[in-house]
Structure 1
Amino acid sequence: MPLTPDERKLLQQQCRHHINGFHSPSPAEQFRALADWCEAHQVEHDNYGSGELIEHFEQKIAGLLGKPAAVFMPSGVMAQLIAAQIWAEQAGLPRIGLHPTSHLALHEEQAHAALLRLHAVPVGDRLRPMTAADLADVKQALACLLVELPIREAGGQLPAWDELMALQALARQRQLPLHMDGARLWESRAYYGKSYADIAAGFDSVYVSTYKGLGGIAGAVLAGDAGFVAQARLWQRRLGGTLVHQSPMIASAAMQLDARLALMDALYQRTCSLAQGLAGLPGLRVNPATPHTNMLHLYFDAEPEVLQDRRDAIAKDSGIWLVNRMRPTDVPGWSYTELYVGDRLLEIDNATLIPLFAQLAQG
């Protein structure tokens, strides 16, 4: 008999291993670590976006991205809407281009249209990264083009470096500003083998998350040239994003930044190793077959409810929680789940995991 939601939550909590994501401290553990770090570094609260902590953090992120300036914001939604608004205002054109699976299109209740009256033009195919050919097919004038690196909804895919350069070249030819949705840019360097600044070089503005990958409480950074960031600060104030104290969000990211970035190569290698081990298992497909980041999607030839029951049975027997939410696909009878590889998976080898995934896929 299927577990109730409460029973399933309890089972998940009782498992000794979870393979998805990073180890998550409790609020009390996180706050104690944050207090110790702040005391050791003599951190003082920022005041409406001013102060040594926030200014140093903004400068550090700007340096990593190779941009002259950056501004911390409480959310990525705010950061990207502000970027789109600045470029639309500069062009005198309320029309932006974005990937069909952009966060703006799927997860923000159409805020770009409802709040800013911006029309969004889908560019490219939802199953793969945007290319120069996709942009060439767009006949409408655009104020800017939002490019997501990597594309979460397609299993963390990245364009090949040559494809990215071709897209940037066409945008320059059209005098079209490029904005990077870099919510998971931190996870992309290992695949390209280039610095964050090199990856961001062809973009006029860049958004990065301070909690995805970095493990901060919340927040985002928006980077660009000095004039762009000055306008971003103005819009941040207009939208109520200049909070009196942002130090908890900033400190929680700053204290983990270097260690998390240093871990990304190992996480990517572990993801590739897992994907290789899963290749060929009946009833299971990996997308992309060769991972581009420490993220991938697993597709199963079974309904979500069936897979959830199998996962629960495996968890009871092994003490290992394999996957989280299972979702139906466009192909009837198939399901998929997202796997984000953090430090948890570094503790478990393929010899332990592959038989469990075979059991999950085949029943």
Structure 2
Amino acid sequence: MGSNRHMPLLTPAERRALRRQCPHIVTGFTTLTPAEEFAAMAAWCEAQQAEHDMYGEGALVEGFEARVAGLLGKPAAVFMPSGVMAQLAAVRIWTEQARLPRFGLHATSHLAQHEEQAFEALLQCHGVVLGHALRPLLAGDLAACRQPLACLLVELPIREAGGQLPSWDELTELSAAARERGIALHMDGARLWESVAFYGRPHAEVAALFDSVYVSVYKGIGGVAGAVLAGSEDFVAQARLWRRRFGGTLHHLSPMVVSAAMRFDERLALMPALYARTVAFAEMLNAVPGLRVNPGLPHTNMFHLYVDAPMDALMAARDALGAETGHWLLDHIRAAEVPGWSLSELYLGDRLLSLDDAVLAPLYARLLSDARQVPR
């Protein structure tokens, strides 16, 4: 790989090609090609003697639903093709039960930022924003909202705030406050798998604070797609009805379930090591002047890295350094709220476990130095 510190900004396609060529990628998990993924799925199916489900019915899907329900300590669970569908179903169920089309959500909730206002367009529900965008929801935020709410969605962790989590005491206080007001508490647990290492408690103990729980099977777990929605028997029975109404009861859900089930236990077992490695990695980055990690001590294997350099300059320096050294240090880069600074989300998987901070520290220091030298 050749050196070109001031190479021009690449197109998205060129940047993806460059990233694929780098043998040392800091972020994320090692991924399989489609051919490798499908071959692994076929081998797992043969070993397990797995058979297709029919519209969600069958040992494969039902067994995985029971596995997740048991892990979360809930009576039942249902597999959904997407987290969007799972959470819309939860909102619909709780608002129907309360006969109140109003629910609470965080300012950075996925429902508010990434779903084209689906809860309004499809469910005719009113979402009330609670709390502050830069921190998790707290009991005081609920107390400040005097509007009646059917349910409250709580994201663990808050992705848009660097993967922050409330403390255990804060979370239990919020749960108690919701129950005191008769408000159903729903967990947006897309990254619950990554959160339990921070709390040092079993999944079921965290989930017990909530009336319903959504978990992803591609975030963290690595399945091709899909989610699981868990709660009481009655809640899940209604969720199955809404899955069909939303068009999610597909002829075969088995491909999504297999891709998650075949690596489920392995990925869950890896989470404590990923969290410990992330904390050490963040400490190294915080020691580089001009870099700042948020939160300073990560709560999960995810955090935001703030860099004292403009976005375009940082992207150019990242690309040039990757081409020269074969190390891909950052993925998505955007302008930070502070003028002249940039922000990148670092989600850390098994790739980081094989990389040494003694090698990475000078590379990040050089990345910042190079970005500051890029002509503006």
Interval of TM-score (by shorter of Structure 1 and Structure 2): over 0.9
Residue 192, structure 1, aligned to residue 199, structure 2: yes
Shift of 1:11: 1.7
Within a 5 Å distance, the mapping from 1:97-136 to structure 2 comes to: 97-136=104-143
Question: In 2, are the aligned partners of 1:48 and 1:245 still within 8 Å (CA)?
Answer: yes
Q: How does 1:44-59 map to 2 (within 5 A)?
A: 44-59=51-66
Q: Tell me which of 30, 47, 52 is aligned to 2:37.
A: 30
Q: How far, CA to CA, are the matches of 1:349 and 1:149 in structure 2?
A: 29
Q: Pick which of 185-194 and 330-339 moved more.
A: 330-339
Distance 1:9 1:145 in 2: 38
Aligned to 1:324, the other structure's residue is in SS state: coil
- Residue from 147, 160, 170 that aligns with 1:153: 160
Mind listing any 5+ residue stretches in structure 2 that lack a counterpart?
1-6, 371-376
Contact 1:49 1:246 in 2 (8 A): yes
* Pair 1:305-2:315 in alignment: no
The reply to whether residue 360 of structure 1 matches residue 367 of structure 2 is yes
1:358, distance to aligned residue in structure 2 (A): 1.0
Partner of 1:211: 218
Runs of at least 4 residues of structure 1 off by over 2 A? Answer: 6-10
Per-residue CA deviations over 1:9-50 (Å, capped at 9, x if unaligned) read: 222111111111000100000000000000010000000010
Partner of 2:374: none
- 8 A Cα contact 1:282 1:362, kept in partner: no
- Assess if the C-alpha contact under 8 Å between 2:290 and 2:308 holds in 1: yes
Which residue is 2:272 aligned to?
265
Q: Distance in 2 between matches of 1:80 and 1:263?
A: 27
Normalised by the length of structure 1, the TM-score is 0.99
**1:294-331 deviation digits (Å, cap 9, x = unpaired):** 00110011111100111112112211100011111221
Q: Counterpart in 1 of 2:71?
A: 64
Distance (Å, rounded) in 1 between the aligned partners of 2:36 and 2:286: 38
Using the TM superposition, give the Cα deviation of residue 360 of structure 1 relative to its aligned residue in structure 2, in angstroms.
1.6
Within the alignment, does 1:245 sit opposite 2:236 as a pair?
A: no
What corresponds to 1:323 in structure 2? 330
One-letter amino acid of the structure 2 residue matched with residue 12 of structure 1? R
2:52 match: secondary structure: coil
Give 1:81 deviation, angstroms. Answer: 0.3
| Match in the other structure for 1:43 | 50
Match of 2:344 among 309, 314, 337: 337
Q: Distance in 1 between matches of 2:78 and 2:311?
A: 41
Partner Cα distance (1:359, 1:52) in 2: 53
Instruction: Indicate the residue corresponding to 1:78 in structure 2.
Output: 85
Matched residue of 1:101: which SS?
coil
Q: Using the TM superposition, name which of 330-339 and 20-29 deviates more.
A: 330-339
Unpaired segments of 5 or more residues in structure 1?
A: none
What's the offset of the Cα at 1:8? Answer: 2.4
Of residues 202-211 and 271-280 in structure 1, the stretch that sits farther from structure 2 once superposed is: 271-280
Q: Does 1:10 align with 2:52?
A: no
Q: Which residue of 1 aligns with 2:103?
A: 96
**Alignment identity in percent?**
64
2:145 counterpart SS class:
coil
Q: Provide, for residues 192-238 of structure 1, a one-character-per-residue CA deviation record: whole Å limited to 9, x for no partner.
A: 00000000001000000010000001000000000000000111111
2:355 aligns with 348
Partner deviation per Cα, 1:233-272 (whole Å, 9 max, x = no partner): 1111111110000100001100000000000000000100
Bigger drift between 280-289 and 111-120 goes to 280-289
Report if aligned partners of 1:282, 1:361 keep a CA contact under 8 Å in 2.
no
Q: Secondary structure at the match of 2:115?
A: coil
Cα RMSD (Å) of the superposition? 0.8
* Aligned amino acid, residue 238 of structure 1: R
**Residues 9 and 315, structure 2, Cα contact 8 Å, conserved in 1:** no
Match of 1:220 among 216, 227, 231: 227
| Distance in 2 between residues matched to 1:137 and 1:360, nearest whole Å | 44
In 1, Cα distance between equivalents of 2:158 and 2:76? 25
Task: Give the alignment partner of residue 235 of structure 1, picking from 223, 238, 242.
Answer: 242
Which residue of the partner structure matches residue 292 of structure 1?
299
* Residue pair 1:99, 1:130 contacting (<8 A) in 2 also: yes
Please, what TM-score do these two structures have when normalized by structure 2?
Answer: 0.95
Q: Which of residues 163, 178, 182 is equivalent to 2:189? A: 182
Shift of 1:351: 0.3
